[in-house]
Amino acid sequence: MTTPFEESELVSNRVSVLLYGGLEDDRRRWATEVASHFPEAGPLIEVKTIEELRAACEQTDSIVYLPDVLKLGDEAQHELALNLFTREERPKWIVGLVGAPEAARTRGALSEALHYRLRRSNVDLSNPHLREAIESRRAASSRPAAASDSATSHERPGAVPSKKPRRAAATRGGSREGRAAGSRS
């Protein structure tokens, strides 16, 4: 069996998510936070009808939020599961669910195919430990000035930071040990 993703990974990667628990505002706030990690994807797209879902299925680099997938019905769930199964380049779907997925699946309200496609990427916002971790992350991200000040304190005043990443020594003509050994000869 494959290991599920951690919530902190799901905020910043392109894996689609089944988001449940908490209030609608909690789920929307989480979806908005995810969208902020992907500015190139444009604004968060919210889908409430099957027509909007079909249009969103054609997107490739968007972040799409469905507040309550059960309200869209079986046909929409089938189309979404098919999109998750057949399209390699697709939006990051944030699929909201009011209750627990197991309960919805047991009632026959959540399709087996959709549940299966999202089985490794569930976020339960009613979990108190998870809520605490999310609030800590949000508090830390609201203090970026202090973090960037300490990160750049070692640089010369007025210096413009380089945008090019430094290459590893091994990519510049061998390892450090090899160059050091060659210089000792």
At 107-143, the pLDDT tens digits run 999 999 999 999 999 999 999 999 999 999 999 988 7
Q: 120: phi > 0 → left, psi -120 to 50 → alpha, else beta; which?
A: alpha
Please tell me the pTM assigned to this model.
0.75
Residue 115 lies in a domain: yes
How many C-beta atoms surround the C-beta of residue 61 within 10 A?
13
Domain with 109, as residue range(s), is 13-137
Q: What angle do CA 43, 80, 118 make, to 5 degrees?
A: 90
Residue 40 lies in a domain: yes
| Per-residue buried b or exposed e for 17-36, using 16+ beta carbons within 10 Å of the residue's own CB | bbbbbbeeeebbebbebbbe
Mean pLDDT score, 53-76: 95
Residue 2 lies in a domain: no
Structure confidence at residue 156 as a pLDDT band (50, 70, 90): very low
Residue 132 lies in a domain: yes
How many C-beta atoms surround the C-beta of residue 49 within 10 A?
11
Q: Which residues contact 176 (CB under 8 A, 6 or more apart)?
A: 169, 170
Residue 17 lies in a domain: yes
Write the CATH number for 114: 3.40.50.300
Task: Report how many domains make up the chain.
Answer: 1
Asked if pLDDT for residue 161 goes beyond 80, the answer is no
Residue 1 lies in a domain: no
Asked if pLDDT for residue 26 goes beyond 80, the answer is yes
Residue 148 lies in a domain: no
Residue 145 lies in a domain: no
Nearest residue to 41 via CA among 53, 51, 31, 29: 31
